[in-house]
A and B are shown apart, each in its own frame.
Chain A
Amino acid sequence: MSNQSQDKKYMPEIPQKEIDELRKSIKATSQKVMADNIARMKKTSNNRPEAMQYFDEVADFFGKREKEIRAAKEAGKKVVGYMCLFAPTELILAADAIPVRVNSGWYDTAKLGDRVVPVEVCPVIRSTIGAKMIGLSPYLELSDSLISVLTCDGQTKLGEILSDYKPVWSMPLPRVKDSAQSLRFWREEIMTVKKQIEALTGNKITAKKLRSAIERTQKATKAFRRLQDLRKGNPVIMGRDAMLVNQTYMWDDITRWTEKTEALCDELEKKVTGKEWVCSPDAPRVMVTGTPMIWPDNWKLPTLIEEGTPQGVIVADELCSGERLLYDPVGVDEWSMDDMFNAISERYLMASTCPCFTSKDGNEDRINWLLNKVKEWNIQGVIYYVIRGCMLYAMEYTRVKKVLDRINMPVYYLDTDYTREDVGQMKTRVEAFLEMLAARIDL
């Protein structure tokens, strides 16, 4: 592991003064963006759930949670960062370490990433590179090691680039799910990363500890599912609020997050009983699918939908930054070490609907997820969201559109980038789509 190598493989040498100035100004912008997003979310929602306050706070990248992790680190805990949600967080928890997801949603750092890779590269990657360049992301900075799951091309190279700074554990992922060989292969990778986590933390992952970690994520999954189920009826939570709750899971303390999410759901259930809708029940019900939408900057699409004329409401998503995070539980039959590892391997490989997979029928799991969501969540329109450079999602659109056309479900392909400048053009498109959905509902 060439951690402190003087001659970096990818990263340019930047004078410390420039780094400090960039970090200062981009951090200031980011704080403004976060505050503005939350203020707008509060304004848009009638009767916004009070329990959201907790998530508003924990969403602050430079706030309490950062301090908490920093303190835990000083007390000897290790932090393991990960990029794709295939990283088996149960193992990190079982070794008494803190898992944090480090993909970047900052628009401004994407421009810095252009110094390392061409602009054609997916901006999530460019932005994460840029964030590392100036040390902007507290969670990325605090990570002792990173798990890089080799999913799309961008993620694959991102791990390599970040290894200029930190030990990176690469986990190759088979591209075909429905093969016994793939599962065996993936299980080996999980066993390898287990040893790496143990070596880093000095903590042995025992059966007892692993069981406890799995049980904690199972509880989180239960709360998570409860929240998504509450979005099936008339809206008691705006899509952006639910999306924020979902995203904070990526860096919050799991047990506390679960408690707070359950408390939120209790409040939402009362709203259902009291018929306290957060927006008009006639607002078009939208599902978004595609490239991950990462807090705080890349919030423009959900904002345009929920602040649009006419107003729409996001009631479901198929995003790896959203409902795919925790929807599937780790299903353990017997609490033997062997069985637990089987269950973890299966859960991360089989449950994923990421377009990096294919099979003899194509990415059938994603299609089924979308069709199920459309039906169960009473979706009235789908926005297929792709950022430039996200090849796999862009390519799967044709397939998804054909399937949705067959059930007469309107779908709109929206492409954008990590930039604030195209909000006007996006607004035209999103509002025309919402207007069309509203006209369909009227008829």
Chain B
Amino acid sequence: MITAGLDLGTQSVKAVILKDGEVISRSQAFSGFDPARAAEQTLDEALKKAKMTLNDLDHITATGSGMALATNSNSTISMMGADARAGVYLFPKARTIIDVGAEEARAVKCDEKGIMIEFVLNERCAAGAGTFIEAMARALEVKLEEMGPLSLKAERASPINASCVIFGESDVVTLIHRQESKPEIARAVFDAMADRISSMVHRLGVNPEVVLIGGVAKDVGFVASLKRKLGIDISIPEYPEFAGALGAALTAAGKVQRSKK
């Protein structure tokens, strides 16, 4: 059985091809102004890598904030539902999945079958999500990917407010004026994000095993801050940014299986 999962995220679209429970291909592109087209192209590319065509697919499931735009999908699953599916597939003991994307952060509580039981999302603000790091990197005049390694060099933490991207930025400016070092400010940014996300997770209860997925999971600075904040080890898969698409592909496989029964 071959299925595909499409994740139409706020910043990028991702495709995963799944064959008999194994990922055989992945592809990613910017969502841009025409996410539907971006999704089509991404899926084509993933199929090309797997040396397949659309006809080889038994079912396509879409997820992500733009899932309704997907032109060639057979079904959809909520982002939180996909997170739970992927989390438990990647780490069978996972019960709490944290997904931090470009503009949204969420936490999902799930059971052993990967069915979500409860979820929370960040409230209408991107301060707990990837965009926040981007904005702060600009303020510090460093590259986005330098932020994490930089923050690990910090000797102490200076608290800032991450209730809002705009306020966060003005807090960073205050630190700059106080002539704090770049590593310390970078760490302050991650600590503030981790603060917000950990209070979100605490609303569900911190049930191990905790899995972190989404593009921001690749940032070592954020991961270090979140681990410190939650006081617990966090599992991170090899391709955290593809977890949503993987969850969708797993959902698609489930649908095919059910329809065969």
| CB of A422 within 8 Å of the partner chain | yes
Most buried by B among A412, A424, A428, A435: A428
Known A-B contacts A410-B118, A439-B115, A443-B115; A422 and B80 likewise in contact (beta carbons under 8 Å): no
Within 8 A of B (CB), among A402-443: 410, 412, 415, 422, 424-425, 428-429, 431-433, 435-436, 439-440, 443
Separation of A188 and B76 alpha carbons in the complex (Å): 59
B124 near A435 with CB under 8 A, answer no
A431 near B118 with CB under 8 A, answer no
User: In the complex, what's the smallest C-beta–C-beta distance from B65 to chain A, in angstroms?
Assistant: 7
| CB of A309 within 8 Å of the partner chain | yes
- Which residue of A309, A425, A440 is within 8 Å of B76 (Cβ)? A309
User: In the complex, what's the smallest C-beta–C-beta distance from A426 to chain B, in angstroms?
Assistant: 10
Q: Which residue of A lies closest to B82 (CB)?
A: A432
Known A-B contacts A309-B76, A428-B78, A436-B81; A415 and B123 likewise in contact (beta carbons under 8 Å): yes
Per-residue contact bits, chain B 51-88, to A (CB 8 Å; 1 contact, 0 not) = 00000000000000100000000001111110000000
- Which residue of A410, A435, A440 is within 8 Å of B77 (Cβ)? A435
Known A-B contacts A415-B123, A422-B124, A425-B124; A432 and B115 likewise in contact (beta carbons under 8 Å): no
B78 near A435 with CB under 8 A, answer yes
Separation of A443 and B79 alpha carbons in the complex (Å): 20
Separation of A142 and B171 alpha carbons in the complex (Å): 51
User: In the complex, what's the smallest C-beta–C-beta distance from A420 to chain B, in angstroms?
Assistant: 14
The residues of A that contact B117 with a CB separation of less than 8 Å are 410, 436
Interface of B is mostly: mixed
User: In the complex, what's the smallest C-beta–C-beta distance from B255 to chain A, in angstroms?
Assistant: 12
Most buried by B among A424, A431, A443: A431
Known A-B contacts A410-B118, A439-B115, A443-B115; A432 and B79 likewise in contact (beta carbons under 8 Å): yes
- Which residue of A428, A435, A440, A443 is within 8 Å of B65 (Cβ)? A428
Separation of A435 and B115 alpha carbons in the complex (Å): 10
Separation of A303 and B91 alpha carbons in the complex (Å): 37
| Chain B residues within CB distance 8 Å of chain A | 65, 76-81, 115-119, 121, 123-124
Separation of A440 and B110 alpha carbons in the complex (Å): 12
Extra contacts besides A422-B124, A436-B81 (14): CB < 8 Å: A309-B76, A410-B117, A410-B118, A428-B65, A428-B78, A428-B79, A429-B121, A432-B81, A432-B119, A433-B119, A436-B78, A436-B117, A436-B119, A439-B81
Separation of A145 and B118 alpha carbons in the complex (Å): 47
A432 near B80 with CB under 8 A, answer yes
Q: Which residue of B lies closest to A427 (CB)?
A: B68
Q: Which residue of B lies closest to A309 (CB)?
A: B76
The residues of B that contact A431 with a CB separation of less than 8 Å are 78
Separation of A433 and B80 alpha carbons in the complex (Å): 9
The count of chain A contact residues (Cβ–Cβ below 8 Å) is: 17
B81 near A435 with CB under 8 A, answer yes
User: In the complex, what's the smallest C-beta–C-beta distance from B198 to chain A, in angstroms?
Assistant: 18
Known A-B contacts A410-B118, A439-B115, A443-B115; A432 and B78 likewise in contact (beta carbons under 8 Å): yes
A436 near B116 with CB under 8 A, answer yes
Separation of A66 and B116 alpha carbons in the complex (Å): 48
The residues of B that contact A429 with a CB separation of less than 8 Å are 121
Separation of A424 and B67 alpha carbons in the complex (Å): 12
Nearest 6 Cβ contacts at the A-B interface = A432-B78, A432-B80, A435-B78, A439-B115, A436-B116, A435-B81
User: In the complex, what's the smallest C-beta–C-beta distance from A311 to chain B, in angstroms?
Assistant: 14
The residues of A that contact B123 with a CB separation of less than 8 Å are 415
The residues of A that contact B80 with a CB separation of less than 8 Å are 432, 436
The residues of B that contact A410 with a CB separation of less than 8 Å are 117-118
Per-residue contact bits, chain A 285-320, to B (CB 8 Å; 1 contact, 0 not) = 000000000000000000000000100000000000
Separation of A422 and B123 alpha carbons in the complex (Å): 11
13 A–B contacts from the bound complex (CB under 8 Å): A410-B117, A428-B65, A428-B78, A428-B79, A429-B121, A432-B80, A432-B116, A435-B81, A436-B115, A436-B117, A436-B118, A439-B116, A440-B115
User: In the complex, what's the smallest C-beta–C-beta distance from A209 to chain B, in angstroms?
Assistant: 51
User: In the complex, what's the smallest C-beta–C-beta distance from A434 to chain B, in angstroms?
Assistant: 9
Q: Which residue of A lies closest to B76 (CB)?
A: A309
Separation of A428 and B76 alpha carbons in the complex (Å): 12
Q: Which residue of A lies closest to B120 (CB)?
A: A413
Separation of A439 and B113 alpha carbons in the complex (Å): 11
The residues of B that contact A435 with a CB separation of less than 8 Å are 77-78, 81
User: In the complex, what's the smallest C-beta–C-beta distance from B152 to chain A, in angstroms?
Assistant: 34
The residues of A that contact B78 with a CB separation of less than 8 Å are 428, 431-432, 435-436
The residues of B that contact A424 with a CB separation of less than 8 Å are 65
Separation of A436 and B78 alpha carbons in the complex (Å): 9
Per-residue contact bits, chain A 328-372, to B (CB 8 Å; 1 contact, 0 not) = 000000000000000000000000000000000000000000000
Per-residue contact bits, chain A 126-146, to B (CB 8 Å; 1 contact, 0 not) = 000000000000000000000
User: In the complex, what's the smallest C-beta–C-beta distance from A146 to chain B, in angstroms?
Assistant: 34
The residues of A that contact B119 with a CB separation of less than 8 Å are 412, 432-433, 436
User: In the complex, what's the smallest C-beta–C-beta distance from A394 to chain B, in angstroms?
Assistant: 12
The residues of A that contact B115 with a CB separation of less than 8 Å are 436, 439-440, 443
The residues of B that contact A425 with a CB separation of less than 8 Å are 124
User: In the complex, what's the smallest C-beta–C-beta distance from B141 to chain A, in angstroms?
Assistant: 33
Q: Which residue of B lies closest to A422 (CB)?
A: B124
User: In the complex, what's the smallest C-beta–C-beta distance from A162 to chain B, in angstroms?
Assistant: 30
Separation of A334 and B80 alpha carbons in the complex (Å): 58
Separation of A436 and B81 alpha carbons in the complex (Å): 8
Separation of A412 and B80 alpha carbons in the complex (Å): 13
Most buried by A among B78, B116, B119: B78
User: In the complex, what's the smallest C-beta–C-beta distance from A438 to chain B, in angstroms?
Assistant: 10
User: In the complex, what's the smallest C-beta–C-beta distance from B10 to chain A, in angstroms?
Assistant: 11
Q: Which residue of B lies closest to A440 (CB)?
A: B115
Q: Which residue of A lies closest to B113 (CB)?
A: A443
Most buried by B among A412, A425, A432, A433: A432
Separation of A8 and B249 alpha carbons in the complex (Å): 63
User: In the complex, what's the smallest C-beta–C-beta distance from B187 to chain A, in angstroms?
Assistant: 30
